[in-house]
Structure 1
Amino acid sequence: QGLMQEALECVLDWGFEQMALNRVEAQVAPQNTASIKRLEALGFVREGLLRQAGFWLGEHRDLLQYALLRAERPAPPRQVPSL
Structure 2
Amino acid sequence: SGQNGCSGAACAYFKVTTSDFNAGNYTYKCMGDGSQFNSWEGPVYFPANGSVQLQCFWGYPGKQVWVVLNGKAYERSIW
- Higher relative strand content: 2
**TM-score class normalised by the smaller sequence:** under 0.3
- Higher relative helix content: 1
TM-score, structure 2 length as denominator?
A: 0.27
